[in-house]
Amino acid sequence: MSASVRTTLVLGGARSGKSAFAEKLARATGSERHYVATSQAYDDEMRQRIARHKEDRGAGWHTHEVPLDLPLHLLQLKSVHRVVLVDCLTLWLTNLMMAEVDIEAAGEALVNSLSDWQGRLLLVSNEVGLGIVPDNKMAREFRDHAGRLHQRIAAVADEVFFVAAGLPLKMKG
């Protein structure tokens, strides 16, 4: 990572290795590490996934559970001495959709929170636009929201990676 890299978007499919890759980048900074989790544990299976993620990450992380107010929380974490990893934006979008929040306004607020970022920020998200067209309206809207959000973030990010089979492909930066 060069000194000028502040914001990195890491995209990939489910179980692609994107989170592990982002965590590796975060550990390389030597800064105070903050993990912003956007998931919500609605059932036992999700609680087990969250516990497994925490165990895999290991010690040395300050964890923040932020299902909705991500832009505001990021502004509060902005510091030259921190690395902040957000995992993941597609879960955040799901939470927004379920809460019937204005997705475009929330996306704009997130993009605005990235300007003049201090320290290191890694944003992880699922690339959901590579498959077939979903068969229902909500799934199509989700895919479209995710695609638009990824484009907006990629436009302002210093780096963008796509991860498949555990292998990162640098797309920008």
Burial classification of residue 77, based on how many CB atoms lie within 10 Å of its CB (0-12 exposed, 13-18 middle, 19 or more buried)? buried
d(CA 160, CA 80): 21
SS3 80: coil
| Closest of 26, 35, 32 to residue 6, by C-alpha | 26
Active site residue 53: yes
Q: How far is it, in rounded angstroms, from Cα 87 to Cα 84?
A: 10
Break the chain down into helix, strand, coil percent, rounded to 5. 40, 25, 35
Catalytic residue chosen out of the listed positions 34, 53, 62, 81: 53
Which residues form the catalytic set? 53
